Structure 1
Amino acid sequence: MQMLVSRDSLLEAGVRSANCQAVVCITNNEEVNLKISAIVRLLNPKTRIITMSKVDDFEETLSTLGGEVHIVDPFKTFARVLNASINNTAFYALNNWLVGDKCATLDSYVQPPLGGWIICGYGRMGLEANRVLTKNGVKTAVIDPHSRRKEEEIDTYVIGHVNAKTLSQAGIHEAVGLLAADADDGHNLGTLLNARCLNSNLFTIVRQNSHENEVAFSEANADMIMQPTLVTARKILLLLIAPLLKPFFRYLLAKKSGREEILKNLLVLLREKIGNQKPCLVTIDFNSEKSSAVIQALDEGEEVLLGHIISDPRNRDVELDLAPFVIKSCGKEIVLPAKDYKILEGDQLLFCGTSTSKYLLKSSINSEYTLYYLRTGQYKPMGYFMQWYERRFSKA
Structure 2
Amino acid sequence: MHNLIYLLLRRMRLPLIVVILSYAISILGLVLIPGMDDQGNPWPMSFFHAFYFVSFMGSTIGFGEIPYPFTDPQRIWTTVAMYLTVISWLYAIGSLFALLQDPAFKRIVGFTRFVREVKNIREPFYLICGMGDAGHLVIRELAAHNIRSVIIDRNDSKIQSLRLEELTHVPGLSADVTDASTLVAAGLQKPECQGVIAMTGADHINMTIAITSKLLVPELPVICRAESHDSQANIASFGTDYIVNPYDSFAKRFAMMFQSPSMYLVYEWMTSMHEAPLSEFAVPPRGTWILCGYGRFGRAVQKSLSFKGIQTVIIEADTAGTGAPEGTIEGRGTEAITLHEAGIEQAVGIIAGTDDDANNLSIIMTATELNENLFTVARQNLSTNDTLFAAAGINITMQPGRIAGQRVVDLITTPLLAGFLRMARNQTEDWANILVSRVVGVLTDKPPESWVMTISQHETPAVLELLNRGSTITLANLLTDPRDITVALPCIAFYIKHASHSEELLPEDELELQDGDQLLFCGQADAETHMRWSACNLHALSYINSGYDLPSGALWRWLDKRRHRPVTEASASPDDPSN
Q: Give the TM-score normalised by the residue count of structure 2.
A: 0.63
* Compared CA separation, residues 47 and 287, structure 1 to 2 (3 A): farther
Contact 1:141 1:158 in 2 (8 A): no
Aligned residue among 329, 341, 355 for 1:183: 355
Q: Find the counterpart in structure 2 of residue 31 from structure 1.
A: 204
| Residue equivalent to 2:378 | 206
**Residue 217 (str. 1) matches residue 217 (str. 2):** no
User: Are 1:251 and 2:423 an aligned pair?
Assistant: yes
Residue 489 (structure 2) pairs with residue 316 (structure 1): no
Distance 1:205 1:40, change over 3 A: same
User: How is 1:1-396 mapped onto 2 (pairs within 5 angstroms)?
Assistant: 3-66=176-239, 69-100=241-272, 104=278, 108-148=280-320, 153=325, 155-159=327-331, 162-254=334-426, 256=427, 259-330=428-499, 331-395=501-565
CA offset digits 1:208-240 (Å, max 9, x no partner)? 112221121111111111111111121111111
Which moves more between the two structures, 376-385 or 342-351?
342-351
Secondary structure class of the residue paired with 2:253:
helix
Conserved? CA contact 1:117–1:176, under 8 Å: yes
Q: Which moved more, 1:330-339 or 1:13-22?
A: 13-22
Shift of 1:159: 4.0
Tell me which moved more, 176-185 or 276-285.
Answer: 276-285
Q: Which runs of 5+ in 2 are unaligned?
A: 1-153, 155-174, 568-579
Q: 1:6 to 1:349 in 2, by over 3 A?
A: farther
The answer on whether the counterparts of 1:93 and 1:104 sit within 8 Å (CA) in structure 2 is no
Q: Which of the two has higher C-alpha Rg? A: 2
Change (3 A) 1:317 1:161: closer
Q: Give the CA deviation at 1:18.
A: 4.7
AA matched with 2:205: V
Structure 1 segments of 4+ aligned residues over 6 angstroms from their partners: none
Number of aligned residues? 390
Say which structure, 1 or 2, has more relative contact order (CA 8 Å, 6+ apart): 1
Q: CA deviation at 1:352?
A: 0.9
Query: Letter of the aligned partner of 1:362 in structure 2?
Result: R
Shift of 1:150: 8.8
CA contact (8 A) 2:476 2:510 kept: yes
Q: 1:216 to 1:337 in 2, by over 3 A?
A: same
Deviations 1:248-287 (A, max 9, x none): 1111111x5xx32322221111111224344111112322
Superposed CA deviations along residues 102-141 of structure 1, whole A, max 9, x for unmatched, are 6536xx5422222222111221111111112222333322
More helix, by proportion: 2
* Segment drifting more, 280-289 vs 12-21: 12-21
Displacement of 1:318 after TM fit?
Answer: 2.2
- Structure 1 position 161, deviation (Å): 5.8
Normalised TM-score (structure 1): 0.90
Q: Provide closer, same or farther for how the CA distance between residues 319 and 103 of structure 1 changes in structure 2, counting only shifts above 3 A.
A: closer
Over aligned residue pairs, what C-alpha RMSD do you find? 2.3
Counterpart AA for 1:205: V
The residue type equivalent to 1:381 in the other structure is P
Conserved? CA contact 1:134–1:153, under 8 Å: no
